[in-house]
Amino acid sequence: MFAKPTTYKTRLTIAPQQSLVEVARASMFPLPGEAEFPSPPALPNALLQLELRLSAPVADLSDITNIIRSDVGLTAQLLRLAAREIEESPDKIVALSEIVVHVGVEKLGALAARTKALPHFSSHAGPSVSERFWMHSRLTALLAEELAAPCCEVSREEAYLAGLLFHLGDLPSLMGWKPASSNAADSRHVGYRMARAWGFPRALADVIGGDREVCLTREARALLDVVTDADTWASRLEFLVARESATIRAKNPPYRLGRG
């Protein structure tokens, strides 16, 4: 993990970038777990910002990292790419900033081109359930990051990442993905299977699974405790905001999709 935030800039010309992206795409795909679970989408605005930053003459990798880490889909896609590109990633939670530096602009461009945008249903009724899921995940991540500050066993980066992906197992039902197996399973087990299939670090997969008994290390158990508290606080804050106004309650109800 980085002790201090660092800004990385890479210069590239726009002209040869397309051919470089094509080469990177051919060597990168399919990503881990593609046969079992489809690739997650990303919020249209995040995807657009990422593509704009990657096509700039000077790519600010710190800015690119912040865009990716704000979105569940982009973060999951980057971790899948890391599982292919970084040997130690299955065992270690690597900072997203380190992954971005390691894979480089060309492969990030190929990844962005391959990622679909989350469908937006324009309505006066407010955000869709899928959009509320993205919002809840982001809020949980930010709260987990703050809760981890005084904890010596959990870094802020790890807490943020685990909070963002804590409800990963809800994605199949939200996206309408057909299950690869006919066996019924709750969202926690589905999330664990997804994390393992996509090559996520074991500690992160254990936390997404939500079972303290299967967390192999004390650090993983501490991380699960932090994220569980953050998820509870996120739900409470959403409820309190919705309670203040009937209009807010109608347009932005709390995200309450069960985890089974």
Q: What is the pLDDT of residues 193-202, one digit of tens each?
A: 999 999 999 9
Indicate the burial class of 243 (C-beta count within 10 angstroms; 0-12, 13-18, 19 or more): exposed
Return the closest-CA partner of residue 207 out of 247, 163, 240: 163
Phi, psi of 175 (to 5 degrees): -90, -10
pLDDT at 29: 86
Indicate the burial class of 172 (C-beta count within 10 angstroms; 0-12, 13-18, 19 or more): buried
The pLDDT confidence band at residue 119, using thresholds 50, 70 and 90, is confident
pLDDT tens, position by position, 58-81: 999 999 999 999 999 999 999 999
| Spatial separation of the C-alpha atoms in residues 42 and 58, rounded to whole Å | 24
Task: Give the number of other CB atoms < 10 A from CB of residue 148.
Answer: 24
| Spatial separation of the C-alpha atoms in residues 130 and 106, rounded to whole Å | 29
Residue ranges in 29-60 assigned as alpha helix (H): 44-55
Return the closest-CA partner of residue 74 out of 98, 44, 105: 44
Question: From the centroid of its chain, how far is CA 10?
Answer: 24
Cβ 77 vs Cβ 132: under 8 Å? no
Q: What is the mean pLDDT of the chain?
A: 83
Number of residues assigned to the chain = 260
The DSSP call for residue 170 is G
Least confident of 14-28, 40-54, 229-243: 14-28
| Spatial separation of the C-alpha atoms in residues 142 and 137, rounded to whole Å | 9
pLDDT at 10: 44
Which residues 6+ apart lie within 8 Å of 22 measured at CB? 110
Whether 39 has a pLDDT exceeding 80, the answer reads: yes
pTM tops 0.95: no
